[in-house]
Structure 1
């Protein structure tokens, strides 16, 4: 009974575009409960909305039915001929119905499989993280020009992210320049927190954590997303220039299609913050498969 109901749902109901299905899927995966009923509904709607080439065979089956009815009306046929004609059409109908359902399921599996696979990319993960951050430009802390090391090349500077026992998401910063190691610096002194909330990190801090694991970093997304990410990276570049001092080429290169953005300052995250984010995403994606 359940299989018959599912078969009926795969044929009859509202059709959706792949974008609509994709939006519903991502809305579901971002929800806190991820209920099975919604997941099942998306799967049924997604499979039903796929376009199968086997659907083109229905017209030939309909033509055979019409031809059979016309011949039956025109001529008197033996009962055995009617039985054979009926069985022939019924078998074709059943096989094609099964083929359409199987093909729609396979098409949807390939589509949703790509959606899930894309979730593993760093670009998608970064964009999801940035979307969850609400920032007011007026609330971002301004960085006074300190010119700490105006005569040192960018590659000779190292920034370490060190654990903060009070807040794992807001590690302290330590700079290493040659043999000179700074004391622990609060991210607010780098302008990496909000002005009125020193415990709230900015998206520029997220980019700093990202560069600790992926440098250079090439973003794969559409134009508006890329522009949004670039604004955060330029903000981080300005922070570096203000804190360490202006010199030659900037601390972060312009975007190049072949490699993306490259940070010339060495960044080492001893807290593995970004690795943990990637690990959580991996577990989340695995649970969907």
Structure 2
């Protein structure tokens, strides 16, 4: 009995929180969700707090119904005081207004939750985009230290960028840090460590840097467009320019850059052939897809509707009229 009473009060308290408390802007809700998604433990309690705050912050047209309920209540009180009605009539009027109150408040909660579900679903699905994944990976790897410079050896400076093929080979000791091999025609280099092209952290040669992430992206997409606001684009473009500088240092400068931005399409195009035999970027996309699918099921659960049985049609079939 005590457990039932405790559960009832907890549910009532949560229901009250859907209507009373601070209301947040969409940007604030988006930041709260982003921080929760990036956290290691992804607290269940924190998720519920965000959902409650998100539902409470939504607007619903059903709020307009309150004025009619209030008008009915005032009229009923005024008439019942002025006229001596049968108590049964007063009881019926009271329960009628109470029913309207309960129906409206539950409809409000459902409508606000549905609006929040649409908003949070958009936030979740937006993280599936290429630009969102690239930006997060680059941001995670930026350690506030200077980017490592490639070795200045002018390797194959007499060849065009399109003649150069950089292979990403599996590393059995570190999946995130593939080995490199450079192919130019029939000539192949020895297996190289990523540090040769400045693709690791200055402070830790066993950890890739943001330049390697971009190189992996070019391993799947020879060109891509960066979406996002100004500061996000600048962060990616800064890393792209660092990668261009490292390629120029290792292979020597040419008339055109190894990576350029197409002014017409806005796409960044890489003239160096990147052959990723580890499918690194594809694996990142699969991991993101599975993660987003799980988050979507947790935050926006589908409501299974019971199948409505047509009794007349079922009776018709049972009688054998349908062959």
Q: What secondary structure does 1:174 align onto?
A: strand
Contact (CA 8 Å) 1:156, 1:178: kept in 2 or not?
yes
Q: TM-score, normalised by structure 2?
A: 0.81
Match in the other structure for 1:224: 231
Residue aligning to 1:152:
159
CA distance in 2, matches of 1:194, 1:4: 52
Aligned counterpart, 1:43: 51
- Please identify, of 7-16 and 265-274, the stretch whose mean Cα deviation from structure 2 is larger: 7-16
**Cα pair distance change 1:38/1:196, threshold 3 Å:** closer
Distance 1:43 1:195, change over 3 A: closer
Q: Following the alignment from structure 2 to structure 1, what is the Cα–Cα distance between the partners of residues 264 and 61?
A: 38
Q: Does 1:262 align with 2:269?
A: yes
- 2:195 maps to 188
Of residues 92, 108, 122, the one that matches 1:100 is: 108
Q: Unpaired runs of 5+ in structure 1?
A: none
Q: CA deviation at 1:3?
A: 4.3
Counterpart CA distance in 2 for 1:157 and 1:190 is 14
Q: 2:137 aligns with which of 121, 129, 133?
A: 129
Query: For the Cα contact (< 8 Å) 1:216–1:259, is it kept in 2?
Result: no
1:77-135 CA-partner distances (Å, limit 9, x unpaired)? 44454344334322322221121011011011111111111222222222222222233
Classify the secondary structure of the residue corresponding to 1:11. Answer: coil
Q: Which residue of 1 aligns with 2:313?
A: none
Q: Distance in 1 between matches of 2:290 and 2:142?
A: 25
Q: Over the residues paired in the alignment, what is the CA RMSD in angstroms?
A: 2.2
Q: How does 1:203-282 map to 2 (within 5 A)?
A: 203-254=210-261, 256=263, 258-282=265-289
- Unaligned regions of 5+ residues in structure 2, if any? 1-7, 298-323
Aligned to 2:318: none
Deviation of the 1:12 alpha carbon:
2.3
Q: Bigger shift: 272-281 or 73-82? A: 73-82
- CA distance 1:42–1:198, shift in 2 (3 Å): same
State how far apart, in whole Å, the 1-side matches of 2:264 and 2:49 are.
Answer: 39
8 Å contact kept, 1:218–1:257: no
Larger radius of gyration: 2
TM-score normalised by the chain length of structure 1: 0.90
Q: Which moved more, 1:227-236 or 1:129-138?
A: 129-138
1:237 Cα deviation after fit:
1.2
Q: How many aligned residue pairs are there?
A: 288
Asked if residue 68 in structure 1 is aligned to residue 76 in structure 2, the reply is: yes
Question: Aligned equivalents of 2:14 and 2:244: distance in 1?
Answer: 55
Cα distance, 1:101–1:257 mapped onto 2, change above 3 Å: farther
> Residues 145 and 202 of structure 2 are in contact (CA less than 8 Å); yes or no, is this contact kept in structure 1?
no
- Cα offset for 1:270? 1.0
